[in-house]
Structure 1
Amino acid sequence: MTYTSFSFYVFLVIALLAYYIIPKAYRWLAILLANFCFFWFATESISKMAVFVTTIVLSYGFGVILNQKKNKAILFIGIILSTIPLLADRAMAFLGDRAPKGIVDSIIIPLGLSFYSMQIIAYLVDIYKSKIEAQKNPLKYATFISFFPQIIQGPIPRYEQLSDQLIRGNELKEDNIMKGIQLIIWGFFLKFMIADKAGIVVDTVFDGYEAYHGFFVLIAGILYSLQLYADFLGCVTLSQGVAKMFGIELVNNFERPYFADSIKDFWRRWHMSLSSWLRDYIYIPLGGNRKGAFLKNINLLITFLVSGIWHGGGLKYVFWGMMHGFYQVIEGLVPAFSRKFRGPAHTARIIINFFFVMLAWIIFRADSLKIGLRMIYRMFTRFNPWILFDGSIFELGLVQKEWEVLIVSLLVLLFVSRKQEHGIVLRDRFAEYRFIFRWIIYIVAIATIWVFGTYGLGYDANDFIYGGF
């Protein structure tokens, strides 16, 4: 059961009914039960459930101890023990084929491992720094760690952001239900109309990379950048929509990152909960920019090294992270990057910035670092723009009409994003329309996605990209 399955929405309706039927003071128990039911239905694995519960119990215990005694050794041990599954998974990935097969097969990777591990680390560190008090009730703590709408792909919430919303019990409000529906429909649009259509071309080129060069690789790189964004934003939007139905606000995870005019600006806008986590728990503790330019750059590189390893084990993720680290170091060394531009110059910077981000995404998507570097090399060593006009792109998995649907969908995303960039949230405008007119729009949107969304041989709507990290 995942966010795009019919069974998930049957489950959601039951969870919502249970939440709003029981007394307000106990509604958090309905969320807790829903969390673990979702985890079980999504994994159907006793061993994964056992690892997940053990991690919750361990981190809860260390939180209580740290609340009474602020000790670095206790903090360090608590973090290590609570993140053993994540550390083991990354270590085995680095070893690759050299890792003993028996050990690899015995490692159990619970659902949402990377995301809830970050929650736990932030929780323990914040207790150690006296920013928060440890949760005394283990069931309430488990409710925070296991919140089902965001456990697969985030965002990564802090305890102080989410805990009170989960525990207090919220009133049933029509506005919350309607906004939740809007967000879910938008998430489906991003997933089915953009991400999964772009993914067909991306898979064709990346899986058969030896047959493609020049503009073929460029198109695949651009589409993968858009696929990843639409896929990840789509899942987070679904998460926000589901949480909103319970009266719970999840933090935004994106602010139009491809409108960024620098890599630093990109990371202010991309996966914001991860970026702020890396800033608060890696970059600043290392010293941030307080100890001179040289150490600032070293701290940046270390921070992006951690980001790469968090995304996955293997050299390609390390290289991807270090690319972004070096991008930011270079920006800091070139005074022109700190200047503000307007008009055509600003647009040019956005395009150039997107291009360099796209190069890094090629490494990220490729099956290995070697393949990723070869693809970039092949992109620059052949000039073949005529493929855009001679019908060659129709041999990449999408026929002409599907390309047209993809392009129109991207234009819709661009239009909505431009409005948001200027502070206009279109879904808030829908609240001004009459109830019947709103539902007509929703039904038309659902029908459009159903008819024009990507379904077919090899298609799996359950595969959100970031769910694999």
Structure 2
Amino acid sequence: MATIIISYGFSMLLQNTKSKILLWAAIIISASPLIVNRIVGFCGKMEYYSVFEHLIVPLGLSFYTMQMIAYLVDIYTDKIEPQKNILKYALFISFFPQIIQGPIPRYEQLGNQLFEGHSFDDRKLMRGIQLIIWGFFLKFMIADKAGIVVDTVFDGFEGYRGLFVLIAGVLYSLQLYTDFLACVTLSQGMAMLFGIELIDNFNHPYFADSIKDFWRRWHISLSSWLRDYIYIPLGGNRKGALRKNINLLATFVVSGIWHGGGFKYLFWGMMHGIYQVVESLVPYFSRKFTGPAKAFRVLINFFLVMIAWIIFRADTLRIGLRMIYRMVSKFNPWILFDGSLYNLGLHEKEWKVLFVSLLVLLYVSRKQEKGVVLRDVFETYNMAFRWVIYIGAIVTIWVFGTYGLGYNANDFIYGGF
């Protein structure tokens, strides 16, 4: 509430006073809770850490802070007019479906939708329900199942080497994607029930054939925010190759710090920055490929992203680096056939459900990549058949989803950032 009131006051001042000092003051003060949180994260177990360790982090802190910064900068650059009604501004900042973990909306994308009013639209209602069902499928059928194996290996990393770590890294990559996509899909579905459309935040990032392409597809609202409010203001690619690469590294440092206070996040951001710098320097990565050559590029790109995700998921940077070393220091393919995987928390039938669910995700993603909008296809079916599919999907998730007696509903992963 305090940052909403403060940023609102600064927005009124910026409308009439185009002062960089005022803009920077507005940004720093509005972002101060996030800045304090990140500083505490870097402090680790230093003596004065205990003073801050019991602070309660506001829900959606990283996400609504970026909304505020974008809003203030857009007013300063005359891209938008400030919202004079503080209650409407508060609604824009705290709109409940997307505050937990995005997507990060711009005022021009979401503002008018929140204020103009919407009549009941049964088509949008049904599309919202479809998105909600798909979100639950991604969360319960893939993300939380994969998370059991991931937690087993990462929490007891000293006992695992070789393919155990590789499989955990691959599953974490899939868990993070489907968990994040699930929450965003649920957000879009809930907003759609009210006739409000939130932007897409993903475009099948694991189909990317370069790190640059990956960041066009992953967490799109964050990537575009970093581009518009960090990379371009630093000079973008307008001041030569050296400056461009420095700007890239600086942008990904900000991305790492945004995700969390701690050196592992900083290192993860630097990895992606270095990936892109290398891509810009090696002509091979600028060439376009098709067929098997493109598939090979996609696999290599996924592997590089997965290596960075291991650092991201590990408790500390040191543990992450040790896990990568342990992954490459032993070759143990027999674990795929001797039942060892069943000791990682998932029984044989659960592995099969996870595998089939991933095939469903792959099928849907391939269709979407080719421009097929499955919601439009559904509308061509008669109502009875559509409801058979909806109810069948809900029952399938109830029966095969990862929850039940003793189940601890996991928070959405990106809600922690």
The correspondence for 1:325, drawn from 260, 273, 284, is 273
Partner residue of 2:20 out of 59, 68, 72: 72
User: Where does residue 383 of structure 2 map in the other structure?
Assistant: 435
What secondary structure sits across from 2:115 in the alignment?
helix
Distance in 1 between residues matched to 2:17 and 2:54, nearest whole Å: 35
State the Cα distance separating 1:342 from its structure 2 match: 0.6
Of residues 288, 292, 295, the one that matches 1:347 is 295
Q: 1:381 to 1:106 in 2, by over 3 A?
A: closer
Structure 1 position 255 matched with structure 2 position 203: yes
Q: Does 1:356 align with 2:267?
A: no
Cα separation, 2, equivalents of 1:151 and 1:228: 18
Q: Which amino acid aligns with 1:378?
A: R
The question of 1:140 aligning with 2:88 is answered yes
**Which segment drifts farther, 203-212 or 422-431?**
422-431
RMSD of aligned Cα (Å): 0.9
Q: In the comparison of the two structures, how many residue pairs are matched? A: 417
> In structure 2, what residue type is equivalent to 1:268?
R
In structure 2, relative to structure 1, the CA distance for the partners of 1:365 and 1:331 (3 Å cut) is same
On the 8 A contact 2:170/2:306 being kept in 1, the answer is yes
Percent of aligned positions with the same letter in both sequences?
A: 72
Q: Deviations over 1:267-309 (max 9, x none)?
A: 0000000000000000000000000000000000000000000
Provide, for residues 388-447 of structure 1, a one-character-per-residue CA deviation record: whole Å limited to 9, x for no partner.
011100100001000000000000000000000000021221111122221111111000
Matched, 1:183 2:102: no
Cα distance change, pair 113–458 in 1 and its aligned pair in 2 (3 A):
farther
Partner Cα distance (1:306, 1:105) in 2: 23
1:285 counterpart residue number: 233
Does the CA contact (< 8 Å) of 2:144 and 2:410 recur in 1?
Answer: no
CA distance in 2, matches of 1:265, 1:285: 21
The worse-fitting range, judged by mean Cα deviation, of 165-174 and 105-114 is: 105-114
- Contact 1:85/1:108 (CA < 8 Å) preserved in 2? no
Counterpart secondary structure, 1:98: coil
Q: TM-score, normalised by structure 2?
A: 0.99
Q: How does 1:75-94 map to 2 (within 5 A)?
A: 75-94=23-42
Q: How much has 1:107 moved relative to structure 2?
A: 3.0
Query: Distance between the aligned counterparts of 1:97 and 1:428, measured in 2?
Result: 53
Q: Deviations over 1:66-114 (max 9, x none)?
A: 0111110111111111111100000000001105244214533111000
Give the AA of the match of 1:173. D
Distance 1:230 1:190 in 2: 5
**Cα separation, 1, equivalents of 2:295 and 2:407:** 36
Give yes or no for contact 1:88–1:107 (8 Å, CA) kept in 2: no
Which runs of 5 or more structure 1 residues have no equivalent in the other structure?
A: 1-52
Aligned position for 1:300: 248
Counterpart amino acid of 2:138? L
Secondary structure (helix, strand or coil) at the match of 2:99 reads coil
User: Which residue in the other structure is 1:10 paired with?
Assistant: none
- Is this contact kept in 2: 1:204–1:396, CA < 8 A? yes
Equivalent AA in structure 1 for residue 213 of structure 2: D
Structure 1 residue 127 and structure 2 residue 80: aligned? Answer: no
SS in 1 for 2:103: coil
Partner of 1:63: 11
Aligned to 2:48: 100
Distance in 1, matches of 2:345 and 2:48, equals 38
Match status 1:375 vs 2:320: no
- SS of the residue corresponding to residue 97 of structure 2 reads coil
- Given that residues 85 and 107 in structure 1 are in contact (C-alpha distance below 8 angstroms), is that contact kept between their aligned partners in structure 2? no
Letter in 1 for 2:255: S
Aligned partner of residue 229 in structure 2, secondary structure: helix
Residues 101, 323 of structure 1: alpha-carbon distance in 2 compared, 3 angstrom cutoff: closer
- Matched to 1:449, the amino acid is I
Residues 195/394 of structure 1: CA separation in 2 closer, same or farther (3 Å cut): same
Quote the residue 1:270 is aligned against: 218
What is the CA distance between 1:183 and its match in structure 2? 0.0
CA contact (8 A) 2:41 2:260 kept: yes
Structure 1 SS opposite 2:245: helix
Corresponding residue of 2:169: 221
State the partner residue of 2:62.
114
Question: Which residue matches 1:241?
Answer: 189
Distance 2:211 2:298 in 1: 10
TM-score by length of 1: 0.88
Residue aligning to 1:201: 149
- The 2-side partners of 1:391 and 1:156 are apart by 43
Structure-2 change in CA distance of 1:107 and 1:99 (3 Å): farther
Q: Is 1:211 aligned to residue 144 of structure 2?
A: no
**What pairs up with 1:310-321 in 2 under 5 angstroms?**
310-321=258-269
Which of the residues 232, 242, 265 maps onto 2:180? 232
The amino acid across from 2:201 in the alignment is N
Specify the code of the residue in structure 1 equivalent to 2:407. Answer: Y
Change (3 A) 1:180 1:99: farther
Gaps of 5+ in 2: none
Mapped pair 1:395 → 2:343: yes
- How far apart, CA to CA, are the structure 2 residues paired with 1:459 and 1:303? 39
Partner Cα separation in structure 2 for residue 309 and residue 458 of structure 1: 35
Aligned-residue offset at 1:134: 0.7
Whether the 8 Å contact between 2:205 and 2:214 is mirrored in structure 1 is yes
- State the distance in 1 between where 2:165 and 2:54 align: 38
C-alpha separation in 2, matches of 1:370 and 1:459: 31
SS at match of 2:119: coil
Instruction: Sort the Cα spacing of 1:185 and 1:451 in 2 relative to 1 into closer, same or farther, 3 A.
Output: same
From 157, 162, 166, give the equivalent of 2:110.
162
Equivalent residue of 1:247, what SS?
A: coil
* 1:455 CA drift (Å): 1.2
Distance 1:100 1:364 in 2: 26
- Residues 391/284 of structure 1: CA separation in 2 closer, same or farther (3 Å cut): same
Given that 2:40 and 2:49 are in contact with CA atoms closer than 8 Å, whether structure 1 keeps it comes out as: no
Deviations 1:324-376 (A, max 9, x none): 00000000000010100011000000000000000000000000000000000
Q: Secondary structure at the match of 1:150?
A: helix
